[in-house]
Structure 1
Amino acid sequence: MKNELLDSVKFYVITTGNEERVARINRYFEGLDFEFVFSDPYEDFVELEKKYRNYSHKFRQKSIMAGEIGCFKTHTQAWLKVINSGKPGIIVEDNVEFIIKPSRLLEEDAIEYIFKCGLVNFTDFRYILDPFSPYKISDVKEKRPFPTVCYGVTPFRAKNLIGGFSKTAYSLPIDKWLSIPKLSRCYGFMSPIIIAKRSSDLSSIANTKKGRKTHNPMNMVIRLINKIRYDY
């Protein structure tokens, strides 16, 4: 691969701006090209939670929560940055724990996976289908969510994701949404290169409590229809 491709990938770190986490990320990425993507105030997500509560009940019994909305929205902001840059990006959450230095993702094989797959994950994953090549997470029969702690995406696939978001925003939490091709509008792949995991000592910016359950029979019918329509 040409040297210019090796310099074409940038890291985007999703964060609430917590000082300890920001300092931790700065240590991880010292000497690397990265940019923080800051989430909006939590109060904004509370309003969105009210707006999308009934809509999300049509996709799962528990409604989507403010923290889940915040996580989803901040990832979309990172996708837009990737699109505007015209270069692939590696999206990282600030509760990441790197097993291997993040610079590993600037090596040729990792960058090739990003270009070839379009959306590819570098996070530890229990349900490995192929230890040597990328595989689609939608092929995992256990129907596991797509880990959002560390993944690469091309501008073209980021456009696909934004297109899917425009149709089914906040229907499900982002990790589940990304694992469903008919919602996200593209396949998400798991890479054999594993460099990160979610830190057990740090929470995500997603929900801190469970969503409200719906017992409305009509929601149950629509939810069944959506499960068939979107195949999840």
Structure 2
Amino acid sequence: MLSLLNLTITLIDIALLLYVCTAIPSSHRSGQGRSIFLVALLFGMAYDNLVVAAGNWFIGEPWFTPVSMMRFYCHVLTLPFLSLFTYSIIREAGLALGQSKVFLMLSLLVTLSTLIYGISHELVGLQLVETSQLGIQRMTNANGSAPIATIVTNLFTIILSAYLWRKTGWKVLCLGSMFIFVVNAVAAGKPWGFIAGNLVEIVFVLSLIITHQNITTNRYPAKQVTA
């Protein structure tokens, strides 16, 4: 039953990916960059859920371990760019902070730092072990340390999206960021945590898509465009 849920989430991810590719115009370079990020993020999410859904049938196959490793590569190499996604939103909203070179450098620093940390601590020497939780067999990282890069990126996004909310009244991105952060924190280490994480990712990525679409199509409900 839960494998079917993962498969359903995969189909939702694919549907959202196709929506981003076809329904959101991105004439500006910044909008195109955000669309590329969303496509990469949704591809990784769809791939992750599809592999997890296939675990009960193929976990004993020799090719399943390298296929499962790609789940971690997709996550580590994509998520850090969420910081630049949020920077782009603030910049295109016309807020003074988005025009600051110091803010740009800070966003780049957070992105590069979390990317390098994720590669060095989560991908280098990556070892997977078989895990069975709630009747689902899947491969997990043998190193059970906290995902520091993900936590830092989420916190940075929450802070910036709260600033966006305060200055423009647009709260979707902030609420989505806080929601996924709280749910993942509560679910960490729980047997059902990976299911909760996959479900809340849908809510979070919807907040990203809605925010991206509104600002890209000039329907951004800004109340104020000053720092």
TM-score (normalizing by structure 2) = 0.32
- The structure with higher relative contact order (CA 8 Å, sep 6+) is 1
Greater strand share, 1 or 2?
Answer: 1
